[in-house]
Structure 1
Amino acid sequence: MNESTVTAAAAQALAVAGQGPAYLPPFAQARLGTMGIELELMVLDRLTYDLLPAAPDILQLLEQQDKRWVATPEITTSMLEVATSILDNYQQALAELEDIRHRVERAAFAVGAVISGGGAHPFQQWRDQRIYPKARYRESARKFGYLAKLFTVFGMHVHIGVPSGDEAVRLCAWRTQRAPLFIALSANSPCWQGENSGFCSARSNVVGAFPMSGTMPAHIRSWQQFEQHFARLAALGIVTSVKDFYWDVRPKPESGTIELRVLDTPLHPSFAAALACYARALCVEASRPPERWPVDDGLNCTPGTASTPPATASLAPGSIRRRAPRAASPRRCCAMAARPAG
């Protein structure tokens, strides 16, 4: 790693933590169709199935292991994030996700916890959550107030490699158009704060509360225009890094990817791998032919236009969303989700 790379990484870290000036790294090239998967996981008490603030202890155990993937903290201490290495196909994805599950489960068991997927814990209370002691999350709590603790929800993010910034912007537009499809396919969070939310994905509505959620503006049609948009918002003090965009799909310049962010965390590695590969396949399909953009035909709308609803609207009354069963028991749902799969 040369000096310029170290300097760029340091500038990025300071910007993300809110401790330095805004910074947007140049877009790194990646091979089209490579992918990476991030999963936000619940840390549960083994007896009560309530959220347990044991993520720091689990992460400490995982740091001692030699592994291809990484585990990092999330905004509250009852959740953690795992991220795979660069993957090429379903078999690689499934094998690595199974390895992640087994290792994280063992580490959690050692501290009296269990790990679960799912988009939202069914009966936790947001007031009880603790902000993870990390500069970025403390800054989020300062900036967003109670929303920071409310953001104890759990999603799956799929990164797809793209060869250039311009192509990343174009493919973000295509993936944004398909975001409701992935919400519907992954929705598994019907309960929220001990109540039947009436939605199959309560998580999606929580994410929508953040000021910078939604979709990439439709006027952005190149990486240069994205840079200009970022610079305008940075000058106003609204953003300091790409992580401040809570869009359904956003570019990730430092890794040369676009990031699909609308999925609830699946309950099994095989489902996570399948969803990631489906997102990858649609991305590769949209890359051929190049230069083609989504067209507003009244059904598939160009992202950001007035006729385009936010992705969460796909689960709103009167659309494709399906109401959760009234008899759903939050505690039973949580216990079943935490049970190791066969």
Structure 2
Amino acid sequence: MSDLLINDAPAPGTGAGADAQALANSGQGPAFLPDFKDSTVGTMGIELELMVLDRLTYDLFPAAPDILRVLDKHDKPWVHTPEITTSMLEVATSILSSFDEAERQLEHIRATVQHAAFEVGAAIAGGGAHPFQKWNEQRIYPKERYFASERKFGYLAKLFTVFGMHVHVGAGSADEAIRLCAWLTQRAPLFIALSANSPCWQGEVSGFCSSRSNVVGAFPMSGILPSEIRSWEGFRAHFDRLAGFGIVNSIKDFYWDVRPKPEYGTIELRVLDTPLKPVYAAALAVYARELCLEWAGQPGRWPAEDSRELYIWNRFNAARDGVEASWIDPETGTPVPAAQAIRADLERLARRSTDPDFGKACAVIEELLRDGGQARWLRRHLERGGGMNDLARMASEIFEAPPGEPAPTA
């Protein structure tokens, strides 16, 4: 995530504790959990993990190091970083506060990264999982942190060549971050449903709208914030206990669906497939931001006691059925269609939002709900006789299409 997300605080990698943090992140030093930085409630940032594709075969292409070198030459308000394998790259926005800001910066990212990829003979795409890549063919990016991950997790490190969108929302304070994490975790399956666009896995139709969502569960620290943790002090005690066993070294070792990110002063929603179009990313991020602003306006209120089994069931349904999933409201215990819950959220949030373009974001989300969502659009291509290579090509052309230009449809 871009250092610009931090408000009135040293950027990660500078200042006191930076060396300890870097060593902990790499797994080479003692465990380290930084203090929670002050932040402005409702600021947001967006991370996108993008596919790097061969322009001829549309298989994954290990050209991320070359693209990153081209991007190094650009002066820009956002950042680019490598990811665990060389067919992935990550981009992260600066601080954003509205749908319009997010849409404009994500379009700048799209155009800049696309041009850089073209220079090295590659294409880029959104999507949560490449439809036909083989995990054993991927190459670990030459960085000690990623080699350490490979040593620790074995083949899971290459299996983790999946592509997600992470949304950071400023929490204001450490204790508030834990409370907002608890609330946003309840809604996380709705974001899985809305973003689901990875119906294929390793060359096969998976039977899931988001095959990506099943990969992270193999990691030992996946899951959700334990419901008994209700303060930063409680989270720090949890961290220290796990660190004492050698299970975690840093916040990066928590693969939770929603986690606090103390060095940024944010909470981080991590469940989304990378959207097929940048504007979808902007709309989904604003939805998460508006929910957090609503909960921030209800100080001291906590969600109903969380049932881990209920969350797992909601998550499974969302990954399998996408926007056509059923969702059990944890507050009422009532099963409702996920699409109905999302529309109810948007209608309620629209009445209180101060974002002048929130209505545009709602219209984009309505598009994501239409005709079965992104996963159904891709499946329709296969049902009409299209192949996996064409599916990857189509996803790339959808992502690379500038606003206003028609993109291919399934």
TM-score after normalising by structure 1: 0.94
Rounded Cα–Cα distance in structure 1 between residues aligned with 2:144 and 2:56: 32
Asked if structure 2 preserves the Cα contact closer than 8 Å seen for 1:214 and 1:311, the reply is no
| CA displacement at 1:136 relative to structure 2 | 1.1
2:329 counterpart of 1:320: no
Q: Which runs of structure 2 are paired with 1:1-342 in the superposition (5 Å)?
A: 6-296=15-305, 302=306, 305-309=308-312, 312-315=315-318, 320=325, 325=379, 327=383, 329-339=387-397, 340-341=400-401, 342=405
Asked if structure 1 preserves the Cα contact closer than 8 Å seen for 2:31 and 2:243, the reply is yes
More helix by share: 2
Give percent identity, aligned residues only: 65
Where in structure 1 do 4 or more consecutive aligned residues deviate above 3 Å? 304-308, 315-319, 321-326
Rounded Cα–Cα distance in structure 2 between residues aligned with 1:134 and 1:311: 36
Residue 198 of structure 1 aligns to which amino acid in structure 2? G
In structure 2, list runs of 5 or more residues that go unmatched.
1-9, 327-371, 406-410
In structure 2, the residue matched to 1:299 is none
Residue 336 of structure 1 aligns to which amino acid in structure 2? M
Higher relative contact order (CA 8 A, sep 6+): 1
Structure 1 pair 5–129 and aligned structure 2 pair: CA distance change class (3 A): closer
Rounded Cα–Cα distance in structure 2 between residues aligned with 1:259 and 1:178: 13
Structure 1 pair 223–320 and aligned structure 2 pair: CA distance change class (3 A): same
Rounded Cα–Cα distance in structure 1 between residues aligned with 2:387 and 2:229: 44
SS at match of 2:312: coil
Considering only aligned residues, what root-mean-square deviation do their CA atoms show, in Å?
1.9
| CA displacement at 1:307 relative to structure 2 | 3.9
Structure 1 pair 11–311 and aligned structure 2 pair: CA distance change class (3 A): farther
| CA displacement at 1:204 relative to structure 2 | 0.1
Greater mean deviation of Cα atoms: 283-292 or 251-260? 283-292
Rounded Cα–Cα distance in structure 1 between residues aligned with 2:187 and 2:320: 19
TM-score after normalising by structure 2: 0.79
In structure 1, list runs of 5 or more residues that go unmatched.
297-301
Asked if structure 2 preserves the Cα contact closer than 8 Å seen for 1:39 and 1:81, the reply is yes
Residue 82 of structure 1 aligns to which amino acid in structure 2? V
Count of residues in correspondence between the two structures: 335
Asked if structure 1 preserves the Cα contact closer than 8 Å seen for 2:40 and 2:172, the reply is yes
SS at match of 1:10: helix
Per-residue CA deviation, residues 153-178 of structure 1 (Å, 9 max, x unaligned), is: 00000000011110000000000000
Residue 313 of structure 1 aligns to which amino acid in structure 2? F
Asked if structure 2 preserves the Cα contact closer than 8 Å seen for 1:37 and 1:158, the reply is yes
Rounded Cα–Cα distance in structure 2 between residues aligned with 1:5 and 1:76: 26
